[in-house]
Amino acid sequence: MSLLEAFEGVFVKYSLVTAFAVVGLMVWFSYVLSDRLTKGRLHGSAIAIFLGLALAYLGGLFTGGQKGIADVRALSGIGLMGGAMLRDLAIVATAFGVRMDEFRRAGLSGVVSLFAGVVTSFGVGIGVAYAFGYRDAVSLTTIGGGAATYIVGPVTGSAIGASSEVMALSVAAGLVKSILVMTLTPFVARYIGLDNPRSAMVFGGLMGTTSGVAGGLAATDPKLVPYGAMTATFYTGIGCLLGPSLIFIVVRALV
């Protein structure tokens, strides 16, 4: 065994610890860049998230895997650290210290935003798929689901019997959406009034992609995270509910 392999063994065995160290370094580096290059105008966490996405791209390019940089054996702990388990634990923890009446005040617009978000995303996705020449209700609805989230797409597709090629497209559409929400939110926040708990809840309900909303709000203003996450968490469920039923029936009637 070479020394390099022996070293790799340590990183693999202590994968989560390695992830803490690597991510810690990335965040530190991003905040230095934020200070030095942008004088704090571009939030350090926005740079860190962008850096993460860039690493994920490189990881996919070099390993051919699906989990970004976490497919590099020595960095597999990043997948655990950024996986659903710890992510959801941390999202719930952000609710600590939030006042209940904030949620209640924005309750109705939160619910409206959920349905508006699901229907709009499906509508746009279906329209784009139609423009690209898809004419069967199954493919149209599945790609529409992908424009909602990368979970709604394949769940809808498998329920109504879409081809695997169309399902892969719907996952890709959902990934594009999630990445765009992560990176664009800090830039558009000012123009769409995203600066208070109420609009954060509306934002979460409209966007729906948990990872996108989690990243986008973290890069904009961490105080808004619990509000956006609260509504976003209902989105995928509602999308999976409406996609293969109501929306599919409407699309089938139209084409």
Q: Are 8 and 74 in contact (CB under 8 A)?
A: yes
Nearest approach, Cβ of residue 122 and another protein (Å): 9
Nearest 5°: phi and psi at 67? Answer: -110, 30
Nearest approach, Cβ of residue 52 and another protein (Å): 3
Cβ proximity to another protein, 9 vs 65, nearer residue: 65
CA distances from 25 to 31, 40, 73 (A): 10, 18, 19
If 0-12 CB within 10 Å is exposed, 13-18 middle and 19+ buried, where does residue 85 land? exposed
Cβ proximity to another protein, 49 vs 137, nearer residue: 49
Cβ proximity to another protein, 10 vs 21, nearer residue: 21
Nearest approach, Cβ of residue 6 and another protein (Å): 25
Cβ proximity to another protein, 5 vs 174, nearer residue: 174
Nearest approach, Cβ of residue 128 and another protein (Å): 4
Cβ proximity to another protein, 69 vs 138, nearer residue: 69
d(C-alpha 24, C-alpha 3), whole Å: 25
Nearest approach, Cβ of residue 137 and another protein (Å): 16
Cβ proximity to another protein, 2 vs 191, nearer residue: 191
Nearest approach, Cβ of residue 72 and another protein (Å): 10
Angle at Cα 154 formed by Cα 215 and Cα 162, nearest 5°? 155
